[in-house]
Amino acid sequence: MKISKQIFLLHPRRSSLQLSCLYLRPSCGFSSRLLHIVSYSRDQGHSVHSARNRLYCFSVSAKMGNSQSGVCPDSPAMERSPHPSTAEGAGNMHINSPATPPSSLIRKFSSVSPTSPERVELLHHIAASPTRDSLAKPLTRKQVAHCKETLSQLLKKFKSHVIDREFDVLRSERLQATKLLACTTVGRMESNLPKNRYLDIIPYDDTRVILEENRNGQSSSYINASYVRDPSYGPLPKFIATQGPLPHTNADFWEMVVQQQCPVIVMLTGLVDRNDEMVKCDNYFPSQSNESLTYGRFRITNKETTTSQNSVIYRLLEIETLQSGDSAPIPVLHMQLEWPDYGIPSSTESVREMVRTNYRIPSNFGPFVVHCR
């Protein structure tokens, strides 16, 4: 298999220099690609090898189709992070956290009410003017020097094939099939199999999102979604990785968004493949402004739709609970980028814009939801 490598340098974040490298390569992984979001920051006065620097790794595994069996997502192979430039420095962020935080713990993590004025105002502002605060600014001399230094290190790793060796380590440390079966028992239950878009992408029992019983009108607490945690957050998740909703899991998806108090949904796919018209994700949200759709006990209304110069679509969605007429609607920012199947975007601008936009959302608003097809 021929390996392709792409390096994206992302824009500085706030007061400290935030450089990020988006590294993609095809594999027998989710969406046939292994996505490493490599991000590290350097404040003034800290060296490149500072303990403040962090490397984040998000790895996802292959889709075989709903009628086939296969293996679960790649196991996290690199949990210790001395530094990104070292062979050992491969990622503090991983899917396989020791235990699934209970719903009560998640609600404590979301310390800001979903209907609080500050949350409502911020999400409205971003949806209405997504590019106003996301325009790239010229780099300072120090930032340019750091970019050159980073690129120099990466080029050395490419020339010496260190990147290939690091990826081989990831593949060699994948869980064996017997261990995968033992850690994905809930998702493989007969009653839950129809809720999986792909039978080889099953959430680990210890990291899956558990829906509160009977809140979705069903007895099942299962949804194909996993917490992804960052050690700097402690045991709490940084975001939730899930599949594109199916027609019969749309209500479950919105139950998860409400129960976990998620402020942002990041959608990295289109609804339909433009080439063969295959459905890649069910229409779980109203795509047009002032349109409303009902899923289970929720009415979802599209209050506003804006498309940025980089073709990122921003939708301000409001969630209303039908059974409780007095409760205020919950705002959610929906961000969509049609990531090409088996490929990458033609430009880094859209990815950088989404990253910068997400940095504007305070962490105490709750975990984001990220999904592709």
d(CA 307, CA 331): 18
Looking at residue 356, its amino acid is R
Task: Kindly list the distances between the CA atom of residue 196 and the CA atoms of 174, 208, 273, in Å, as whole numbers in the listed order.
Answer: 21, 13, 20
CA proximity to 56, closest of 30, 84, 96, 31: 84
- For the record, the structure tokens of 345 come out as 């975007």
Task: Kindly list the distances between the CA atom of residue 280 and the CA atoms of 155, 244, 277, 283, in Å, as whole numbers in the listed order.
Answer: 36, 7, 9, 10
Catalytic site includes residue 372: yes
The kind and range of the H/E element at 334 are strand 330-336
CB 261, CB 271: distance < 8 Å: no
Give all strands of the β-sheet with 264-267 in edge-to-edge order. 208-210, 222-229, 237-242, 368-371, 264-267, 330-336, 313-321, 298-307, 292-295
CA proximity to 70, closest of 174, 177, 189: 177
Give the SS3 label for residue 242. strand
CB 265, CB 368: distance < 8 Å: yes
d(CA 35, CA 11): 19
Phi first, then psi, for residue 349 (nearest 5°) are -60, -40
Looking at residue 313, its amino acid is I
d(CA 30, CA 193): 18
* Catalytic site residue from 57, 72, 183, 372: 372
Annotated active-site positions, please?
A: 372
